[in-house]
Amino acid sequence: MPTISLTSLIVLLTMVFTSALQTRSIDPMLPVIAKDLSVSLRDAFLLSSSYALPMALMQVVLGPTADALGKVRVIRTCVTIMAAGTVMSVVASSYGMLLASRLLTGAAAGGIIPMTMALMADKVPPAGRQAAFGRVMSVSTAAQILGAALAGMFAGTLGWRNFYVVLAVIAIVAMLGAHAFLESDVTQPRSISVKRALSDYGRIFAARGAWLILLGGVANGTLVVGMFALLAPLLHERGGDGPFEAGIGIAVFACGGFLLGIAMRWMAGRIALPRLMQIGFALAGLAHLGVAMPMPWPLTATLFALVGFGFFALQNCMLALMSDLVPEARGSAVAMLLFAVFNGQSLGPVLWGLLAEHYDYAACFRVSGIVLLAMSMLAMPALRRSDLPRKMK
């Protein structure tokens, strides 16, 4: 089986870091951006969804494109577009322009982390894939820790626009590294065929258990990451300023993912995938029920370590399952899973925002926690009925 050179691995992980740095960094800054651009907090929530939605939609296109032209080629193109979109965020003079820049960078992000995961599945033997995914997640979550923490600090001091200057510089450096050092993974690209892409997706959807994995992806996005837009106003209600405390909470969430990445080296092969998925749903659900309880904001933020561990445990398991449903179309399979997750992320802030208007932020976390716990109890029986996981190919 082919392997990844050290140089290519370093550059790939740099791409992952660059993309992940932007993923959740805007959430702590939403109240400040809303005030600065004279829009409502509800309108500002769309800036979170506007990144995740195109990131989700582009999976449908980028998966088959990467299978045909090469995953590295897609990554190079996407990081270039991301750099341009981030520069656009720096100079955005209106809410509409900032929204457009988020749409552009979100669309580009759709081809970086997903295609890196698919490339790992191509080049790493089955026994080592969960550990490889764990390493990528460790880099991704480290970036989310840094991004969320810096965003919270910048929002209250130097301003959200200066934070985007930092992101733009990092994105440009990553773009230059990708074009200079990243090694191609395809020697003879084939033409992009809509018929072939539809055929690949048809085989993925027809695979036993595919819909169950995709449903888990939607739930993971909606019930976990989709709640982040509510964190700043919730912590503001509990005596914090909002942006800084929300940045801490999201950083703690990423710490949970970082710990999962380290622990996965031990858990892979010792804990069965169905059991690990059950644990992931349970931890996230219990933590959300805790967040719903009245307590000082530092304790609320601390609970997000459990949320992060649970979320990334679920993500790791679903990636391992999905990448082997149709091995010859891994780019499309991984893209379809992340399409489900990112659609859940984009839908979450809208749905929870509507619920919060009629009840309160704590009630939203309470509902999410109950649903996650219910899914924990249903996960193992459902996976067994679908004969998942089957023998990895």
DSSP alpha helices (H): ranges in 110-229?
113-123, 126-156, 160-181, 194-206, 210-223
pLDDT of residue 321: 84
Q: Please report, to the nearest 10 degrees, the dihedral formed by the alpha carbons of residues 222, 227, 228, 229 taken in order.
A: 100
In a domain, 287, yes or no: yes
* Residue 1 pLDDT level (bands cut at 50, 70, 90): very low
In a domain, 187, yes or no: no
Q: Pick the residue with more confidence: 247 or 263?
A: 263
Query: At residue 342, does pLDDT exceed 80?
Result: no
In a domain, 285, yes or no: yes
Residues 266, 260: Cα–Cα separation, whole Å? 10
* CA angle at 139 for the pair 135 and 143, rounded to the nearest 5°: 160
Single out the residue of 21, 107, 20 nearest to residue 62, CA to CA: 107
Say if CB 343 and CB 53 are below 8 A apart. yes
In a domain, 142, yes or no: yes
In a domain, 353, yes or no: yes
Which range, 111-125, 157-171, 242-256, has the best average confidence (pLDDT)?
157-171
Can you give the residue range of the structural domain that contains 124?
6-181+197-385
pLDDT in tens, 18-34: 888 887 677 778 778 88
The per-residue pLDDT of the chain, averaged, comes to 80
Query: At residue 195, does pLDDT exceed 50?
Result: yes
pLDDT in tens, 141-170: 777 767 777 777 776 677 788 888 888 998
pLDDT of residue 4: 64
Count how many domains the chain has: 1
pLDDT in tens, 56-88: 778 778 878 887 788 888 888 999 999 999 999
CATH number of 96's domain:
1.20.1250.20
In a domain, 368, yes or no: yes
Residues 132, 140: Cα–Cα separation, whole Å? 13
Preceding peptide of 389 cis, ω within 30°: yes
Predicted TM-score (pTM) of the model is 0.68
